[in-house]
Amino acid sequence: MKELLIKLKMLSIREAQLKNKRVLLRLDLNLPMKDGKLTSTFRLRAALASIRYLLARQAKIILISHLGRPQGFDKRFSLEPIILELKRHLKVPIFWTEEVLSMAVRKKAERLDNSEILVLGNLRYLPEEEANDLKFAKELASLADIYVNDAFSCSHRAHASIVGVTKFLPSYAGLRMEEEIESLDRLLTRHPKPFLMLVGGAKLKDKTDTLRNILPIAERVALGGGTANTFLKAQGEEISESLYEESLLDVAREMINHYPEKLILPVDWLVEYLPSGGFRISDVGPLTLAILEREIAHAKTIFLAGNFGISEDERFRGGTEKILRIMAKTLKRTIISGGDTVGLAEQLNLLSRFAFVSTGGGATLEFLAGKPLPGLEALKERCPYCRGAFGGKHPSFQE
Ligand code: 3PG
Ligand code: MG
C-alpha cells in the first residue's frame, strides 16, 4: 500500500501528526435517498475507518461533504439524515450545522475538542464549491490544520473541497482512498488472469474511454444494459425503441471489429412492449446469462460496473441479480462498482461476498479509463517530498 502511494506520489493519513490537530476531512456522504430516507449506507460505512483512525489519534474532525445537486440552500438536501446515521456508528460528540462558512462555524471549529466532530452544511449549497473558487477554498482551509481527502468517489470533480483546499493545507489521502486506489490500480496492472470485465449501465457515452483502456488489458469484456444496445444496433439487430446512442455507432462498430473474440454481447433479451407497438430491451435473457456464468467460472478476476437491465423497474433486475449471485459465490477476485449495482448487491445482502466494492461510479470509470483524477492530482502536487523538498526523499521510501 505504501509503495503504491509513493508511486502515485501522495502522502497517506498514516504519515500525518494528528494529535490535537484540526483535520478537514472530505468524505462522500452523497448517499442515495428515497422520500427522505437513506436507501444505502455503504459509502458512510466505507468512511468509518478514516473517521475512527482520526478519533483514536485525538484529532478534531471538521467533516465536509456534498449531497445531491442543490441549487443554493435547500432543506431537501440537508445532511441531517446522514448525520443521524453517523451518530448510530460513533460514540463521540457530533455537532452539525446547515451553514458551510460563518462566524459561528469558525468559533465552533476553534473550540472543538480532541476526538469531537463538527459537520458543516452541504458544500453544494454554495456555488463556489463546484466552481473551485479559491477564495472559498482558502476560507474552508483556514478552519483546519491539515486536509484529508477520503472521498475517492468525488475525486473526478475539480471542486473547491477536493482540489482548491489542497493549495492551502498539508494534504493527505484517507484510508478508504488508499484502498480504492490500491484495488483499482491492481486491476489495471497486476490482476490474476483471465480478467473478465462486465460493463452495464444506461449510457455507453460514460464508458467509451474505459472500454478503450480496458479492452487491450482484459481477456473478455461483456456488455449489458443500455451500453450494449448501441453495439446490438451497430450489428444490425432490431432494437426498436430501446435506448441507444446514434453518435457512438461507429465507435461500437470499431470495437466489434477490433476485438471480435474479446467482446461478449447479449444474444437474447427480455423486452417490454410499448403502447406505440414497438419494444424496449429491458434485461438480458437466459442464454446470455448462461454464457456469462461460463465466463465467470473461467475468469480469475471479474469486475462488474453497472446493471445489465433497466433496474429502476423491479421486473428487470433479474439479470443483474443473477450475475451478482454467481459472482458472490466464487472465491475469485471479484469487484463491483456503480451506485445502482452496489445498491442492488446491498439489498441482496451480498456486499461482504466480494473481494472489493468500489464507492465510486464516475470516478471509478475515469480511473479505469486511465485518466488523471483532479482530486488525486491535487494530492500528488501537494506531496512535499515528491515535489523535491527534503532531498526528494519520501519518508516511507525504502530502497
Ligand atoms: C457521486 O455520487 O457520483 C459522487 O458523490 C459525485 O457526485 P456528482 O456526480 O453529483 O458530482
Ligand atoms: Mg455521479
Sorting pLDDT into bands at 50, 70 and 90, what band is 14? very high
What is the SS3 assignment for 99? coil
Task: Tell me how far the alpha carbon of residue 9 lies from the centroid of ligand 1, in angstroms.
Answer: 25
Are the C-beta atoms of residues 36 and 74 closer than 8 Å to each other? no
What is the SS3 assignment for 151? coil
Mean pLDDT of the chain: 94
What is the SS3 assignment for 336? strand
Q: Which atom of ligand 1 is nearest to the CA of 30?
A: 5
Give mean pLDDT, residues 124-145: 98
Alpha helices in the chain (DSSP H): 2-8, 42-56, 80-89, 103-111, 127-130, 134-141, 175-189, 208-214, 225-234, 249-258, 286-298, 318-329, 339-347, 362-368, 374-381
Give counts: helices (H), strands (E), the chain. Answer: 15, 16
Amino acid at 112: L
Question: Residue 35's pLDDT is what?
Answer: 87
Identify residues whose C-beta is under 5 A from ligand 2, the ion: 362
Residue nearest to atom 7 of ligand 1 (CA): 154
Answer yes or no: is pLDDT of 80 > 90.
Answer: yes
CA 2, chain centre distance (Å): 21
Ligand 1 pocket, residues with Cβ under 6 angstroms: 28, 30, 69, 153-154, 157, 361-362
Are the C-beta atoms of residues 293 and 308 closer than 8 Å to each other? no
**DSSP letter for each residue of 349-397:** T-GGGSSEE-S-SHHHHHHHTTPPPHHHHHHHHT-TTTTTGGGG--TT-
Give the mutation target among 26, 150, 153, 154 for probing the ligand 1 site: most ligand atoms within 8 A of CB.
154
Task: Give the relative orientation of helices 249-258 and 225-234 as an angle to the nearest 10 degrees.
Answer: 80
Amino acid at 160: A
Answer yes or no: is pLDDT of 312 > 80.
Answer: yes
Amino acid at 150: D
CA–CA distance, 294 with 196 (Å, rounded to integer):
11
Task: Tell me how far the alpha carbon of residue 84 lies from the centroid of ligand 2, in angstroms.
Answer: 23
pTM of the model: 0.94
Answer yes or no: is pLDDT of 11 > 90.
Answer: yes
CA–CA distance, 63 with 117 (Å, rounded to integer):
7
Give mean pLDDT, residues 349-368: 97
Task: Tell me how far the alpha carbon of residue 339 lies from the centroid of ligand 1, in angstroms.
Answer: 10
Sorting pLDDT into bands at 50, 70 and 90, what band is 399? very low
CA–CA distance, 80 with 44 (Å, rounded to integer):
13
Sorting pLDDT into bands at 50, 70 and 90, what band is 57? very high
What is the SS3 assignment for 64? strand
Answer yes or no: is pLDDT of 335 > 80.
Answer: yes
What is the SS3 assignment for 222? strand
Question: Residue 6's pLDDT is what?
Answer: 63
Q: Is the preceding peptide bond at 372 cis, omega within 30 degrees of 0?
A: no
Give mean pLDDT, residues 133-144: 98
CA 93, chain centre distance (Å): 28
Give mean pLDDT, residues 103-120: 98
CA–CA distance, 344 with 325 (Å, rounded to integer):
11
Residue with cell 490482476: 191
In order of 56, 68, 79, 89, 178, the CA distances from 46 in angstroms are: 17, 19, 17, 12, 12
Question: Residue 382's pLDDT is what?
Answer: 75
Question: Residue 381's pLDDT is what?
Answer: 82
Give the mutation target among 153, 155, 364, 366 for probing the ligand 1 site: most ligand atoms within 8 A of CB.
153
CA–CA distance, 353 with 358 (Å, rounded to integer):
13
Task: Tell me how far the alpha carbon of residue 63 lies from the centroid of ligand 1, in angstroms.
Answer: 17
**3-7, 35-39, 47-51: lowest mean pLDDT where?**
3-7
Residue 279, number of CB atoms within 10 A of its CB: 17
Residue nearest to atom 5 of ligand 1 (CA): 30
Q: Which ligand is nearest to the CA of 206?
A: 2
C-alpha cell at 292: 456469462
Q: Which ligand is nearest to the CA of 154?
A: 1
Task: Tell me how far the alpha carbon of residue 68 lies from the centroid of ligand 1, in angstroms.
Answer: 7
Task: Tell me how far the alpha carbon of residue 19 lies from the centroid of ligand 1, in angstroms.
Answer: 31
Amino acid at 302: I
Give mean pLDDT, residues 72-78: 96
